[in-house]
Amino acid sequence: MQAYEGYFENGQFYPMMQAVRTFGRRRAFLTILDEPVTNNEHLKAWQEFFKEIEEIDDEPLLEIERVKFREVEI
């Protein structure tokens, strides 16, 4: 049996420390607590990341530059 701590937001479960991995069909229980998530370092980091991404004003690449590699003896 495994237990994971995390939070549930917009229909998605986010584990706090590690990814939830399981194989095959498994019986599971999910308990939603009546307390809000506060002081979540992961959430703050993701919010900061997306804020920084939105502030990038570079034009997106229309096509990836093709590069030719060749073998060279050193």
Contact 15, 4 (CB under 8 A): yes
Write the secondary structure of 55-67 as one string of H (helix), E (strand) and C (coil).
CCCCCCCCCCCCC
Q: What are the C-alpha distances in Å from 18 to residues 6, 13, 14, 60, 70?
A: 9, 12, 9, 33, 41
Determine the Cα–Cα distance for residues 69 and 26; give it in Å rounded to an integer.
Answer: 47
Residue located via tokens 């990836």: 64
pLDDT in tens, 10-65: 887 777 767 777 778 777 777 777 777 676 777 788 888 889 988 888 887 788 88
**Prediction pTM value:** 0.34
Q: Residue 46: how many CB atoms within 10 A of its CB?
A: 12
